[in-house]
Protein backbone atom coordinates (compact mmCIF):
# COMPACT_ATOMS: atom_id res chain seq x y z
CA UNK A 1 0.00 0.00 0.00
CA UNK A 2 1.33 3.43 -0.95
CA UNK A 3 0.86 6.46 1.25
CA UNK A 4 -0.39 9.44 -0.68
CA UNK A 5 0.86 12.87 0.26
CA UNK A 6 0.00 16.11 -1.44
CA UNK A 7 2.77 18.18 -3.01
CA UNK A 8 4.71 20.17 -0.42
CA UNK A 9 5.92 23.75 -0.55
CA UNK A 10 8.20 25.62 1.84
CA UNK A 11 7.23 29.24 2.40
CA UNK A 12 9.80 31.95 3.07
CA UNK A 13 9.00 34.60 5.65
CA UNK A 14 7.91 37.02 2.91
CA UNK A 15 5.69 34.39 1.32
CA UNK A 16 4.19 33.60 4.71
CA UNK A 17 3.30 37.28 5.21
CA UNK A 18 1.63 37.32 1.78
CA UNK A 19 -0.17 34.05 2.51
CA UNK A 20 -1.72 35.38 5.71
CA UNK A 21 -2.44 38.96 4.66
CA UNK A 22 -3.12 38.72 0.90
CA UNK A 23 -5.43 35.91 -0.18
CA UNK A 24 -4.98 36.90 -3.85
CA UNK A 25 -1.21 36.35 -3.77
CA UNK A 26 0.33 33.10 -4.97
CA UNK A 27 1.17 32.20 -1.36
CA UNK A 28 -2.37 33.12 -0.25
CA UNK A 29 -3.78 30.73 -2.84
CA UNK A 30 -1.41 28.02 -1.59
CA UNK A 31 -2.68 28.61 1.96
CA UNK A 32 -6.25 28.04 0.77
CA UNK A 33 -5.15 24.85 -1.03
CA UNK A 34 -3.42 23.68 2.17
CA UNK A 35 -6.65 24.26 4.09
CA UNK A 36 -8.37 21.98 1.58
CA UNK A 37 -5.64 19.34 1.89
CA UNK A 38 -4.49 19.79 -1.70
CA UNK A 39 -0.94 20.83 -0.76
CA UNK A 40 1.25 20.66 2.33
CA UNK A 41 2.96 23.83 3.52
CA UNK A 42 6.14 24.15 5.55
CA UNK A 43 7.79 27.20 7.11
CA UNK A 44 10.65 27.86 9.48
CA UNK A 45 9.56 28.42 13.06
CA UNK A 46 11.51 31.69 13.05
CA UNK A 47 9.19 32.93 10.31
CA UNK A 48 6.35 32.82 12.83
CA UNK A 49 8.32 35.25 15.02
CA UNK A 50 8.31 37.71 12.11
CA UNK A 51 4.53 37.32 11.79
CA UNK A 52 4.13 37.92 15.53
CA UNK A 53 6.25 41.06 15.34
CA UNK A 54 4.28 42.34 12.35
CA UNK A 55 0.88 41.73 13.97
CA UNK A 56 1.89 43.07 17.40
CA UNK A 57 3.43 46.24 15.97
CA UNK A 58 0.95 47.11 13.25
CA UNK A 59 -2.47 45.89 14.35
CA UNK A 60 -3.24 48.22 17.23
CA UNK A 61 -6.15 50.29 18.44
CA UNK A 62 -5.25 53.24 20.65
CA UNK A 63 -1.69 51.88 20.75
CA UNK A 64 -2.90 48.57 22.24
CA UNK A 65 -2.38 45.32 20.28
CA UNK A 66 -5.62 43.99 18.81
CA UNK A 67 -4.74 40.35 19.55
CA UNK A 68 -3.68 38.79 22.84
CA UNK A 69 -0.83 36.32 23.06
CA UNK A 70 -3.37 33.52 23.52
CA UNK A 71 -5.24 34.55 20.37
CA UNK A 72 -1.98 34.64 18.40
CA UNK A 73 -1.16 31.15 19.68
CA UNK A 74 -4.57 29.96 18.49
CA UNK A 75 -3.95 31.53 15.09
CA UNK A 76 -0.65 29.70 14.75
CA UNK A 77 -2.20 26.36 15.69
CA UNK A 78 -5.05 26.88 13.18
CA UNK A 79 -2.77 27.55 10.22
CA UNK A 80 -2.27 24.52 7.93
CA UNK A 81 1.50 24.88 8.16
CA UNK A 82 4.12 22.47 9.46
CA UNK A 83 6.57 24.59 11.45
CA UNK A 84 10.19 23.47 11.14
CA UNK A 85 13.05 24.34 13.44
CA UNK A 86 16.67 24.42 12.41
Least confident range from 9-13, 44-48, 53-57: namely 53-57
pLDDT surpassing 70 at residue 50: yes
State the pLDDT at residue 4.
79
Surface-to-core class of residue 57, CB atoms within 10 Å of its CB (0-12 exposed, 13-18 middle, 19+ buried): exposed
What residues does each domain of the chain span? 8-84
State the pLDDT at residue 86.
66
Alpha carbon distance 68, 6 (integer Å): 33
pLDDT in tens, 65-85: 999 989 999 999 999 999 998
The pTM for the full model equals 0.83
Alpha carbon distance 10, 41 (integer Å): 6
Amino acid sequence: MMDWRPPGYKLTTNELVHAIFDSNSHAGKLLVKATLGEVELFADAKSWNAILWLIANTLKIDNVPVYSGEELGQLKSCLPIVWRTG
